[in-house]
Structure 1
């Protein structure tokens, strides 16, 4: 290698899958990713151990080629190198569920991987020829089928350099773009005057990225968390501390805020390609998302055209917004979702949902698949959401009734599949008979084995089936079973296995991930550094324990830049949302509080409730009170969140808060819902929040299991299962009020439990001053607060 030349690296797998792909997108092939399953790694190790002394397993290989202006390094790991008298053989192992007898030849990209390893090994050892062996193993039966061939060194060399030649222009583009990007980053400065504590926050992020550590940031609303994390991450990329930023969010609205932060820096001539990944069903051009060449013209021949579409886009435009992506996809007649994933490979920053990184069934395999890693910087926004999302991503469940349903569906069509489904149903029936309500299980390995047998028959059936509706139903079960098998293979002490007979009569077996930290680590370790940040990351020890496994993580508490006197915090002591206290009288008392807030000062308010039912009960009493006072229309306007709101309905709901109202306007919302976090209603758009109750999750099987699990570890199980998640919703809802240093607002916490020390342990530092009130005295305290701003001071409302 020329030490003076820049180095560009690519894995063998990514190289061949990128350069050699062709043909259609077709989701009718059930096992598209079957060789990437966790189970595949298990069978690899088993076969490698059986191969004897002449077999060298997991051999790292690297070949560097000097190109004009740079060096290209192709790297990978051969599954096996076999030393025989006749010569050396490269072994490439793939685990599959298909009947291996149906395989007539190796899959092209699998063979291409092996040929790359063959060329590199032959080059390194001066071999004139080398053997290539493709080993396919059925994951259930462990039957093996091998394809063997011998290649001369010259044949492999010509083939290898043809593949590299087709990739060279992409590597050259990558190098030239990096120079432009890094040069522009040097010119970028922080785009605003630093708020109090903001410079220290940005510096802490940079130091974390420099040291390749993890950082937890508890930063109150209004500190400017997004730009304070994006700016140092961009600077870190310019200094070579990372190659790609992943800005991860839980909600669509926070993706928009992240995009705007990058756009603000681009106004200073920053040259960075930034992409927001949109869910397939939202960006699909077809009425129904059905990814096969018969149903979608954009799926037909997609892989023949997509590389040209991507290359044209990235070499002619820095802009990668949704409109441009859709326009390019239509021009080249390719799938916009798949094309955007390909474009992301050449982007400098990717803004996306958590699942694109962490979900084993949905992650971007090109970045996070087995064997892949890179110089990634993870910025995880609203990180408090990742605990519950992580639990869902790494848990799996199967229902007995689903097997019975598919069994009836295929009974007259496929005897072999019917028998396997019958076996699974019998296993689950036996567990059901032993289950009274629910049962914690030590193991379900006997069910696992039956599911493995079923997968082979499901694969076969899906390949043969031509009845679309039936195929759709079977495919759904296939993915459910595959997920269960994948999760089962990673079971450890962070899981509970249980069975449950639900109230509906359905019986399930669940692999429940109680602590997702270890699973998240697998993906975070593929990058350099991670910053977790949120306005509600309290108590910090709770989030550190459930999001990270290392003890050396940094944590900082950013001070609020806002004057405490601009906010009135009141605890309502004469109300409770406890089930035992719920009554019409209690609902009416809550409704009276809402009237007191609305009458204290004309403005926009949101009231957050623990459930739709509670909200509707208080809403009815609120309407009754208005009628009694004869002030239905002329003095207070109101709107209520509905259970199933479309995006358009959400936008209309929020637009109400941007319009001028002659008197008070009150929004009825659900705590933990779409309006309780991620929305920005600054200044007069929102001057108060009423929090009804402590936000505790409803008592259910999994919450009780969490409580028992953490009790067993010596922690306060109730706090881990109920109190901390509940108070997070409270803090998020309250955070809607004070967004800028010009804002004035009131926050009412209405539940007697807020005076309990355990609840107050989760209060942020800026809540150290608060008042107590009852429904009869709240109005006076609020009027006094608002009147303190009346003389010669801005009120936060623009009249």
Structure 2
């Protein structure tokens, strides 16, 4: 095997032909030439001034319509979407600069030069735009002018002279007034050349720093060894499958039992693929903070092995914002001072962060403090310049907040979706939207004095909601109905008046933003819901339905809720996958296969890898206890049985145990009865709405050397994504089969699944209730055994656990023991712990 062949084969069995080495130092076709778009150059090197607020501006559809309208009005002989391409050398670097100018006007006589027009859509007159925005618009047009001269030189062989000029015209189209404002200026070749080359110099300096970093990444990744002495069972198989997917592209689904080491088994081959230049960037998604912590720890271990890769962790804006953390205060206009002059200070901060191994929120915040920049926005500016990006699902999939850099097709990105069992539910939420009357009224009240124009717009939205509900009442068969379901398959069934009113609210907010003003801070969350509503309304299809609710009927202020409910987000997820070279979705609970593929929008032919447990079956004792009925109508009787069960389990071998319940109410009921019967056993309970500090305090009870009994909620923060290693947890009791509560939403999911022809996910009840419940159960049970030395028990407390439906879906390494009476449970626990003690 030559030294050029992939280093992965030294650590993973890769069949012949499974990988090809690529030396990053060698120049392939076109590799010496920098391919650069005008838009990319201008955005990087010409942006100055303030960071514009987060208000939603003109949509892509509005921009396209305005462009088409103005382009159709161009005079005869002019050309729309005129392609420009310039070849040049700048500071020893060959560059191909490309772009398309909106309108090209050829010279009609000797007295008038060629003219290039650029169209920009706004909600206000151009004189009210921020100066930084105006300069950025002009920068793009000036670079187009520079490209035009070079392209003409390539076509005619004549070099531009100092007296050569081009006319540049900005066309700002005000969507609110439906007027176009023009500004025409002439520039000489020396002016445009000086401007463009200054921008190119800045970009090329950065490009060389980036290329140097990438060479270090490639070389260190190729030399990287697997960071553990040996692979666990299944790890090698997972690493090989992951590498092949990353190399060849496409999708891979992996169900890997808890404790196998999924993070390192996917991240290590991904780094190898990065080193072999099979991919350009890795994007790792997690659903919980604990998952990001595992990625950080794994990356640190790889760094310890010599890897030079840069990891960027994106944390939610609310947890990063300096103003919300009390590190700065907004000025009299409601503007954060860290956004003023943001792009003037950005270059130095960007250089400081480039190539750092771990760009955690803390590291980015430290640099942001030094340069007085918004830490969240600084992290976003570093997105294109990180080798591995770790973030939440929503930054890739959520149509409202997903990051545009991930949608660009000029990079081969690999998407690693950890905890993929959470994605289906999360995605349905991302593609759903809710507007309520009460929150809209509160938003209007907050604007009444300070923003009268916005107040009127919000009041119009409230009236539109009122009218929509009135129409639903009039059309309903029964006058006492308080819930209405409206199909959205035809345009006339949609709440168009609500949409128009919401559009006007957003237009007013965008107008304020363009004028460097801000709406009241207290309506920020409500505005997000309005933005989401408008975003989802544009995506409506047969995968949505409209759910209208009325509460507090007859009260002075009747509550109304309009919900655009997504019934299955699989098709939307598939659209997002297409933006990536390769997608790997993995979790400990991805079963059954057809249901998972249907919910996650994965291709039916995508490879599905189900791996065995790396641990011996004797490490985990599984006990089915069908003598308990946890259904709602039987819970009074079940309470005493559960109290007895918890006591038996705890006394069989005192240690750290967690009992997971389907609801807070049931948990409280059992806890009160348990405290009466076993006052000597301390009990700690999960609290609803607990913050990070309270969650950390709860976990402190579950440390080595303690004997803690905890009550928690199934599917909550303590039942997923936390590693209770060794004596931190020796057993769990799972109360009930985890079915979601019956609601209008769940029933609509059930009916939609039943109505779908050829539904691959099973019948409606399974899709809406039993499969989601099973995921919660398996995730909860997976907390017990995390390493080769762990021993523990899982008690499944409900008669339904013995049903063939569930037993057929249990993991292959489970060997459940059926306990029909409490005494059989005690005997089974005693035998298990005696066997463990004798090992």
Q: TM-score, normalised by structure 1?
A: 0.89
The alpha-carbon deviation at position 528 of structure 1 amounts to 1.3
Aligned position for 1:645 = 690
| 1:553-589 Cα distance to aligned partner (Å, 9 max, x none) | 2221111121122222122112222222221x31111
Kindly indicate whether the alpha-carbon contact (under 8 Å) linking 1:37 and 1:486 is maintained by their aligned counterparts in 2. Answer: no
Aligned position for 1:119 = 146
3-state SS in 1 of match to 2:584: strand
Show the 5 A alignment for 1:560-639: 560-583=613-636, 585-627=637-679, 632=680, 636-639=681-684
Aligned position for 1:526 = 579
1:187 to 211, 223, 236: 223
2:346 to 288, 306, 319: 306
The alpha-carbon deviation at position 231 of structure 1 amounts to 0.3
Say whether 1:341 aligns with 2:380.
yes
The alpha-carbon deviation at position 236 of structure 1 amounts to 0.4
3-state SS in 2 of match to 1:92: strand
Show the 5 A alignment for 1:127-206: 130-139=166-175, 142-192=178-228, 193-206=230-243
| 1:47-72 Cα distance to aligned partner (Å, 9 max, x none) | 65676986755566554544566544
Kindly indicate whether the alpha-carbon contact (under 8 Å) linking 1:462 and 1:471 is maintained by their aligned counterparts in 2. Answer: no
Pair 1:523–1:313, CA change in 2 (3 A)? same
- Give the Cα–Cα distance (whole angstroms) in 2 for the partners of residues 445 and 55 of structure 1: 39
The alpha-carbon deviation at position 510 of structure 1 amounts to 1.9
- Give the Cα–Cα distance (whole angstroms) in 1 for the partners of residues 727 and 621 of structure 2: 16
| 1:294-330 Cα distance to aligned partner (Å, 9 max, x none) | 6755444332222112213326x44534444333333
| 1:367-399 Cα distance to aligned partner (Å, 9 max, x none) | 136x56522111111011121221222222222
Aligned position for 2:821 = 774
The alpha-carbon deviation at position 205 of structure 1 amounts to 0.3
**Count of aligned residue pairs for this structure pair:** 774
Say whether 1:683 aligns with 2:726.
yes
Show the 5 A alignment for 1:259-408: 259-286=296-323, 287-288=325-326, 292=330, 298-314=338-354, 317-365=356-404, 367-368=405-406, 373-408=410-445
1:554 to 607, 614, 634: 607
- Give the Cα–Cα distance (whole angstroms) in 1 for the partners of residues 368 and 165 of structure 2: 44
Deviation larger for 276-285 or 294-303:
294-303
Pair 1:465–1:739, CA change in 2 (3 A)? closer
- Give the Cα–Cα distance (whole angstroms) in 1 for the partners of residues 776 and 704 of structure 2: 27
- Give the Cα–Cα distance (whole angstroms) in 2 for the partners of residues 464 and 312 of structure 1: 32
Aligned position for 2:32 = 6
Say whether 1:669 aligns with 2:683.
no
The alpha-carbon deviation at position 536 of structure 1 amounts to 1.0
Pair 1:734–1:101, CA change in 2 (3 A)? same
- Give the Cα–Cα distance (whole angstroms) in 2 for the partners of residues 129 and 464 of structure 1: 33
Deviation larger for 456-465 or 696-705:
456-465
2:804 to 757, 771, 777: 757
Aligned position for 2:598 = 545
Kindly indicate whether the alpha-carbon contact (under 8 Å) linking 1:293 and 1:299 is maintained by their aligned counterparts in 2. Answer: no
- Give the Cα–Cα distance (whole angstroms) in 2 for the partners of residues 657 and 514 of structure 1: 39
2:755 to 700, 712, 718: 712
- Give the Cα–Cα distance (whole angstroms) in 1 for the partners of residues 301 and 787 of structure 2: 18
| 1:263-314 Cα distance to aligned partner (Å, 9 max, x none) | 1111111111112223334344454477756675544433222211221332
Say whether 1:656 aligns with 2:701.
yes
Aligned position for 1:446 = 497
- Give the Cα–Cα distance (whole angstroms) in 2 for the partners of residues 194 and 424 of structure 1: 59
Deviation larger for 479-488 or 72-81:
72-81
Kindly indicate whether the alpha-carbon contact (under 8 Å) linking 2:624 and 2:816 is maintained by their aligned counterparts in 1. Answer: no
1:34 to 15, 37, 57: 57
| 1:10-52 Cα distance to aligned partner (Å, 9 max, x none) | 443332222223334464xx64x51465654465456656769
Pair 1:156–1:306, CA change in 2 (3 A)? same
Kindly indicate whether the alpha-carbon contact (under 8 Å) linking 1:687 and 1:745 is maintained by their aligned counterparts in 2. Answer: yes
Kindly indicate whether the alpha-carbon contact (under 8 Å) linking 2:125 and 2:181 is maintained by their aligned counterparts in 1. Answer: no
Kindly indicate whether the alpha-carbon contact (under 8 Å) linking 1:181 and 1:238 is maintained by their aligned counterparts in 2. Answer: yes
The alpha-carbon deviation at position 454 of structure 1 amounts to 3.7
3-state SS in 2 of match to 1:790: helix
Pair 1:622–1:560, CA change in 2 (3 A)? same
Kindly indicate whether the alpha-carbon contact (under 8 Å) linking 1:8 and 1:71 is maintained by their aligned counterparts in 2. Answer: yes
| 1:202-236 Cα distance to aligned partner (Å, 9 max, x none) | 00000001111111111101111000000000000
Pair 1:182–1:305, CA change in 2 (3 A)? same
Pair 1:768–1:117, CA change in 2 (3 A)? farther
- Give the Cα–Cα distance (whole angstroms) in 1 for the partners of residues 539 and 104 of structure 2: 28
1:512 to 561, 565, 576: 565
Aligned position for 2:158 = none
Kindly indicate whether the alpha-carbon contact (under 8 Å) linking 1:706 and 1:721 is maintained by their aligned counterparts in 2. Answer: yes
Kindly indicate whether the alpha-carbon contact (under 8 Å) linking 1:56 and 1:82 is maintained by their aligned counterparts in 2. Answer: yes
Say whether 1:501 aligns with 2:561.
no
Say whether 1:19 aligns with 2:45.
yes
3-state SS in 1 of match to 2:220: helix
3-state SS in 2 of match to 1:742: coil
Kindly indicate whether the alpha-carbon contact (under 8 Å) linking 1:458 and 1:478 is maintained by their aligned counterparts in 2. Answer: no
| 1:743-772 Cα distance to aligned partner (Å, 9 max, x none) | 222111111122233333432222365434
The alpha-carbon deviation at position 465 of structure 1 amounts to 10
Kindly indicate whether the alpha-carbon contact (under 8 Å) linking 1:93 and 1:137 is maintained by their aligned counterparts in 2. Answer: yes
CA RMSD of aligned residues (A): 3.2
Kindly indicate whether the alpha-carbon contact (under 8 Å) linking 2:723 and 2:783 is maintained by their aligned counterparts in 1. Answer: yes
- Give the Cα–Cα distance (whole angstroms) in 2 for the partners of residues 616 and 116 of structure 1: 67
2:271 to 219, 234, 247: 234
| 1:403-450 Cα distance to aligned partner (Å, 9 max, x none) | 444445555676655554444333221211224322233312333233
The alpha-carbon deviation at position 682 of structure 1 amounts to 1.8
The alpha-carbon deviation at position 539 of structure 1 amounts to 1.8
Pair 1:464–1:5, CA change in 2 (3 A)? closer
Pair 1:564–1:422, CA change in 2 (3 A)? same
3-state SS in 1 of match to 2:752: helix
3-state SS in 1 of match to 2:306: coil
- Give the Cα–Cα distance (whole angstroms) in 2 for the partners of residues 55 and 534 of structure 1: 56
Pair 1:465–1:53, CA change in 2 (3 A)? closer
Aligned position for 1:735 = 782
Say whether 1:726 aligns with 2:773.
yes
Unaligned runs of 5+ in 2: 1-26, 156-163, 474-480, 489-493
Pair 1:160–1:180, CA change in 2 (3 A)? same
- Give the Cα–Cα distance (whole angstroms) in 2 for the partners of residues 53 and 518 of structure 1: 43
The alpha-carbon deviation at position 672 of structure 1 amounts to 0.9
The alpha-carbon deviation at position 513 of structure 1 amounts to 2.1
Kindly indicate whether the alpha-carbon contact (under 8 Å) linking 1:572 and 1:752 is maintained by their aligned counterparts in 2. Answer: yes
3-state SS in 2 of match to 1:677: coil
Pair 1:120–1:494, CA change in 2 (3 A)? farther
Pair 1:738–1:170, CA change in 2 (3 A)? same
Aligned position for 2:508 = 457
Say whether 1:92 aligns with 2:139.
no
